[in-house]
């Protein structure tokens, strides 16, 4: 928060953020800084694929003791899932990209910003799909540009990080005679943060849904479990023109996915 009372106060990403947490620092001490009302990504899970960078929002309230100002203190949020806030900051953290704070009284401010996730570098294990804790690196700065005191404020909130998923569908033959058998196949995959690709979501149950042409609502026809490679296959009787799709909801580690509807003309 050293760049001003209002406006952007920090810009950290990737190695820069890591360096900020591992550089030599002042002896840990009570900074008098308090962080509250911490919310990450509007309270929703952060669903991450294999290549797309994510910048989940973060907002919180910060206050500090007498004798300091907004430009002389820092409270930089980060995510961790280690055993302690400091360990989390040094190993496998998700760090701040940018932040803006506006004073709310003589010794308080409301802050909003963004965290930064680049899957190839930030997430190196599928075990990272879990509940992360939210901490903050709190510092009081001296006139020499070095921190006079600092501490890591742990467990201010939690945030769920999940693997993105995909679903495909193919219904055949197209067209099909009314009353004949229609074969519907598809595949479920999800982000693998070790292989940096989407791999089969084996054993996951998906709903086969149908939307009749001219309507707007899908109806579940049956539930099918994917095989070990994530492939789906089932048969139905063709009754009317319409769209077929596979869909499944999110789990504690993986986001949900819905295939785009595949239109079948029934003669």
- DSSP three-state, residue 256: coil
Stated pTM of the model: 0.85
Judge whether residue 237 has pLDDT over 50. yes
Lowest-confidence region among 28-32, 41-45, 253-257? 28-32
Judge whether residue 3 has pLDDT over 90. no
- Are 35 and 79 in contact by the 8 Å Cβ rule? The answer is no
At 68, the pLDDT band (50, 70, 90 cuts) reads confident
The pLDDT value given to residue 67:
86
| Strand-strand pairing, 46-48 and 131-141 | unpaired
> How far apart are the C-alpha atoms of 154 and 140, rounded to whole Å?
17
- Mind listing the pLDDT tens digit for each residue in 154-168? 999 999 999 999 999
**165 strand-pairing partners:** 190
Judge whether residue 8 has pLDDT over 80. no
Mean pLDDT across 132-159: 92
Judge whether residue 225 has pLDDT over 60. yes
> How far apart are the C-alpha atoms of 126 and 195, rounded to whole Å?
10
- Mind listing the pLDDT tens digit for each residue in 79-123? 998 765 554 444 458 999 999 999 998 899 999 999 999 999 999
- Are 192 and 198 in contact by the 8 Å Cβ rule? The answer is yes
The pLDDT value given to residue 1:
52
If you ran DSSP here, which 8-state letter would residue 49 be given?
Answer: -
The pLDDT value given to residue 4:
36
- Percent over 70 (pLDDT), the chain: 85
Residue that wins the pLDDT comparison between 163 and 11: 163
| Strand-strand pairing, 108-116 and 73-80 | unpaired
Chain-centre distance of CA 134, in angstroms?
13
Nearest to 39 by CA among 141, 138, 128, 110: 110
Burial (CB count <10 Å: 0-12, 13-18, 19+), residue 256: middle
- Mind listing the pLDDT tens digit for each residue in 187-224? 999 999 999 999 999 999 999 999 999 999 999 999 99
Mean pLDDT across 147-151: 91
Q: What is the mean pLDDT of the chain?
A: 88
Unique residue bearing structure tokens 């294999």: 50
Judge whether residue 6 has pLDDT over 50. no
Judge whether residue 17 has pLDDT over 60. no
């Amino acid at each position: 928060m050293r760049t001003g009372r209002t406006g952007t106060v920090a810009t950290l990403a990737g190695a820069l953020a890591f360096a900020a947490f591992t550089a030599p620092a002042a002896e840990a001490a009570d900074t008098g800084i308090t962080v509250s009302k911490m919310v990450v990504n509007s309270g929703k899970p952060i669903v991450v694929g294999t290549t797309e960078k994510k910048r989940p929002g973060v907002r919180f309230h910060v206050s500090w003791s007498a004798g300091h100002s907004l430009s002389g203190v820092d409270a930089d949020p980060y995510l961790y899932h280690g055993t302690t806030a400091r360990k989390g900051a040094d190993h496998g953290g998700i760090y701040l990209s940018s932040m803006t704070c506006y004073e709310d009284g003589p010794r308080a401010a409301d802050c909003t910003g963004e965290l930064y996730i680049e899957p190839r570098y930030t997430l190196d294990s599928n075990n990272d799909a879990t509940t992360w804790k939210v901490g903050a690196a709190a510092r009081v700065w001296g006139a020499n540009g070095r921190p006079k005191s600092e501490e890591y404020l742990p467990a201010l909130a939690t945030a769920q990080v999940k693997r993105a998923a995909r679903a495909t569908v193919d219904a055949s033959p197209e067209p099909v005679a009314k009353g004949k058998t229609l074969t519907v196949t598809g595949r479920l995959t999800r982000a693998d943060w070790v292989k940096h690709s989407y791999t089969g979501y084996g054993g996951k149950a998906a709903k086969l849904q149908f939307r009749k042409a001219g309507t707007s609502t899908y109806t579940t026809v049956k539930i099918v479990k994917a095989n070990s490679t994530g492939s789906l296959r089932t048969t139905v009787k063709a009754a009317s023109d319409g769209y077929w799709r596979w869909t499944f909801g999110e789990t504690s580690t993986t986001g949900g996915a819905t295939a785009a509807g595949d239109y079948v003309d029934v003669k």
